[in-house]
A and B are shown apart, each in its own frame.
Chain A
């Protein structure tokens, strides 16, 4: 009997010993002279259309540029102004012609020179296969001569250079195969292995053209769960985290960790579905706009890590100033609904009109942690003014809002000034031919302004037009801008050179280091 027990016990102990021994080498930032860095990211997944790092595929360019594999011709500085990157300079020859001069000495990570011919091949492939690029860039022809690239557009494109800074504009060597989702770019890191929704392995680019890369190996882990992310950072499994839950921030507000934050133009906004009978009523739209408590949402639910929204762009942007938006005013909202004939006749707290209940279907998704918070908070504040909100928060949101019927309000996140130009948001969301105009919103005045904008090259004039256009969509209550993201990355105190950027594109750079 004792013998049996002893055997069992010994077995158990040896097994746990065997299992335990793997746990010894913790904090393995510096391993046999190699510096390794592990980033945990909640957004790098197929759901966000980042299944690979091939910039010519949906939104995968974001991963390409963020993790330092690809670089664009130009980049944005902190004020969202253009700066040279792979290219050295540009010249706007006439309305339809652009001349871009590349830097001498830039090479791809495979050692091939990144000359005009290679860039031409890359952009030609881009506009052939990418669903947004062709329309955005309207490229007619490209000529390559050594380091000079001459691009002709079919229509005047004042923002061509800005669009080339979109992550899809990462310059990659298209002569390499991309079957495994890995591309060869000019950035500080080289991708070696990719498993969608799991991880991306990178190594230092020994041929990097722009300085010495300090980290030898990088792993980007897709950690879709915010809680696991927090614990991994605490535990030391990862060195830095992107997409931490706000509720976990207090855990890292001490000297063991550092925060890097930047105000971004990632807006959390509502898009109204004009195909829905209820939403088509301007009073309902206005009441919704007045019934969202933006201040409390930002200050309490986001722990102050955000900015209250007004127009489509943060008011720190030159084209985000002087716009009259709506702020939380439940009394006024009630009055508007009352006047429009929406009254609570059966005493259940929800208003009705002609026997129809004021119920709205709110569609949103969970991968941006702010959206469920916004949804539940709006559900409560809108209920106070007599609007019943049914939430449908699902990763499958895309299929739902692609239908005309079946939803009323879509809450989403979008980088409105991603390319440093206001037209980006309008052309993707607000015009009758916009791909993301899911609610069939249309306004003739807005279309006119848009046409004018498209042929305006003068920046201050463009800004002025952008302000007018924002005022128009806000007056129509076609969109409600709730807040803007203050993007934060949290890292272990020994990490340096990790900086959050206003456009949310640049994360891992040659400066990244671990001490």
Chain B
């Protein structure tokens, strides 16, 4: 418990840094909020109008004051309005977030379903034919860019076989499949290798050899210790890859027209819709940090050795 509180307190300066950086980055982006807004509505701007609008928005105040004002608004859920659509940024972002989280979640589940069994099989049949096949497949999966995979999947599953829709107007089980597969293929390729390595390590440990010698059924040892140790590996890795996954959804979402924050971000970047980009960057960073915190805490419970190590030091 103490540990959790300590971690949360440590988080505060990081959150400040993230918000500050997000704010500073978008101010650096150069375009002036006011000018941008007026250009987008097609108005002709006079110098006078510009100065007045600036004063109104407090853009002449010192940078830090502007930051704290922005932060205050942020805490009230106000991140400004989109330059393009004129809609509330925070609301838009929140409304699109579930779709992305769903996609992230399904692809993590699929990755686990694929990579744990394959990794274990490969390790158990170390250097046998099955092992080679699995390693070869994971190697291929690792070398394919996800946009290439998307295009090929689309072509095969939707056009040639007609099993799945390309796009769908609402989130249905069928529409999740292709984006999930695309994201899971690359990740599974990576994790299968990792699981294989971990299990190989584990299998060569004395206690397993001892258990074998004592005649404990192999499947029992496998289920017990090996699976647990590979789960810890997977969780650590997943936490690390949540970042690339959240970013990776941007490409996949825009290819599959998945109405999540990734597509929102790509569209916003193309349109130089800075408030929207800002919201995306900041929230993604915060989500990422939180996920890391949760994983850190969770494997303290999964792996007793880490807990013990903590007490000793």
Contact = CB atoms under 8 A, between A and B. Distances in A.
B167 A23 contact: no
Interface string B118-161: 00110010000000000000000000000000000011001100
Interface string A205-241: 0000000000000010101110010011011111000
B163 A46 contact: no
Contacts of A224: 257, 267
Interface stretch (A12-20, A272-280, A310-318): A12-20
A195 B87 CA distance: 11
A231 B87 CA distance: 31
B115 to A, nearest CB: 11
Given A38-B169, A224-B267, 18 more contacts: A1-B218, A1-B222, A4-B219, A20-B163, A22-B172, A23-B164, A23-B174, A47-B267, A47-B271, A131-B41, A131-B43, A219-B169, A221-B257, A228-B167, A232-B165, A236-B162, A399-B36, A399-B272
A219 B158 CA distance: 21
A48 to B, nearest CB: 11
Q: Which residue, B36, B39, B110, B271, has most C-beta atoms of chain A within 10 A?
A: B271
6 contacts: A12-B113, A18-B173, A22-B174, A47-B84, A131-B43, A231-B154
B255 A225 contact: yes
Contact of B167 (A3, A8, A223): A223
Contacts of A235: 158-159, 162, 165-166
B49 interface: no
A402 B39 contact: yes
Interface in B236-264: 254-257, 259
A199 to B, nearest CB: 6
B44 interface: yes
Interface string B64-103: 0000000000000000001011110000000000000000
A199 B167 CA distance: 12
A38 B170 CA distance: 13
B113 A23 contact: no
Contacts of B114: 12
The 4 closest A-B pairs by CB, nearest first: A22-B174, A22-B173, A23-B174, A1-B219
A225 B44 CA distance: 32
A1 B217 CA distance: 9
Given A1-B124, A399-B36, A51 B218 contact: no
A12 B117 CA distance: 11
Contacts of A2: 219
A167 to B, nearest CB: 15
A399 B113 contact: no
Contact of B174 (A19, A225, A231, A395): A19
B31 interface: yes
Q: Which residue, B121, B177, B270, has most C-beta atoms of chain A within 10 A?
A: B270
B85 A46 contact: yes
B257 A19 contact: no
A77 to B, nearest CB: 31
B199 interface: no
Contacts of B158: 231, 235
Contacts of A15: 109-110, 113
Given A231-B158, A235-B159, A398 B223 contact: no
B176 interface: yes
B13 interface: no
B113 A394 contact: no
B84 to A, nearest CB: 4
B183 interface: no
B165 A237 contact: yes
A89 to B, nearest CB: 34
A412 B270 CA distance: 17
B39 A8 contact: no
Nearest to B222: A1
Contacts of B169: 38, 199, 219, 221
Contacts of B234: none
A186 B182 CA distance: 45
A234 B159 CA distance: 7
Contact of A23 (B116, B124, B165, B227): B165
A51 to B, nearest CB: 4
Contact of B176 (A3, A19, A197): A19
Interface string A234-253: 11111000000000000000
B151 to A, nearest CB: 8
Contacts of B298: none
A19 B177 CA distance: 7
Contacts of A281: none
Interface string A136-170: 00000000000000000000000000000000000
A234 B44 CA distance: 45
Interface in A435-464: 435
A196 interface: yes
A231 B176 CA distance: 17
A58 interface: yes
Q: Which residue, B113, B169, B173, B267, has most C-beta atoms of chain A within 10 A?
A: B169
Contacts of A232: 165-167
A329 B172 CA distance: 56
B304 interface: no
Nearest to B263: A197
Given A131-B41, A223-B167, A51 B85 contact: yes
Contacts of A405: none
Contact of B85 (A23, A197, A234, A238): A197
Contacts of B87: 196
B42 interface: yes
Contacts of B124: 1
Contact of B162 (A26, A51, A221): A26
A232 B257 CA distance: 11
B167 A19 contact: no
Interface in A1-35: 1-5, 8-9, 11-12, 15, 18-23, 26
B221 to A, nearest CB: 10
Contacts of B259: 195, 198
A80 to B, nearest CB: 26
A396 interface: yes
A46 B271 contact: yes
Interface string A382-422: 00000000000011101100100000000000000000000
B118 to A, nearest CB: 9
Contacts of A131: 41-43
Given A196-B87, A395-B270, A396-B270, A3 B219 contact: yes
B228 to A, nearest CB: 13
B174 A20 contact: yes
Nearest to A367: B270
Contact of B257 (A196, A219, A223, A236): A223
Contacts of B85: 46, 51, 196-197
A402 to B, nearest CB: 5
Contacts of B267: 47, 197, 224
A235 B158 CA distance: 6
A257 B96 CA distance: 34
A197 B264 CA distance: 9
Nearest to A132: B42
Contacts of B167: 221, 223, 228, 232, 237-238
